[in-house]
Amino acid sequence: MSPEDNRKPTPETATLKSVSRLGPQLNLEGKLKGHEDLEIQGSFSGEVDLALHDLTIQKSGLVKAKLKVKNLFLHGQLEGQVLAERVIISETGRFTGDIIACKISVQNGARFKGTIKISKDYQP
């Protein structure tokens, strides 16, 4: 592995957004930390730390976790705790738990059970 492989993202490389995907047939448990966006189509339980990146939970996604993400786009099911700058729960989204965020949007048809705390600023 070369030293370039261990570099942290810079503003120049951050513009080239890459998205990792947990496919619909995958089930993952544990702690996940990274420096790119993530899309979950399968199931995940544990902790996710993508403090500067986006997490999208697709309709087929089932997540039970403690999340720290810049933006959360929920189309599937999520149970847990969320710390984020922005949370959007779509009409197909199902959420149970606690959210701390600067901005939150819960669209018509979404199901929400829990607490929301609006924070003035997001601290990654």
Residue 15: pLDDT above 80?
A: no
Token pair listed for 115: 């607490």
Would you kindly state where each structural domain of the chain is located, as residue ranges? 32-118
User: What SS3 class is residue 11?
Assistant: helix
Residue 44: pLDDT above 90?
A: yes
Return all residues near 108 (Cβ < 8 A) that are at least 6 apart.
Answer: 91
Q: Which residues pair with 105 in a beta bridge?
A: 88
Token pair listed for 106: 């819960």
CA 43 to chain centre: 13
**Residue pointed to by tokens 């705790």:** 81
CB 46 within 8 A of CB 32: yes
Residue 7: pLDDT above 60?
A: no
Q: What's the pTM value of the predicted model, to 2 decimals? A: 0.85
Residue 112: pLDDT above 80?
A: yes
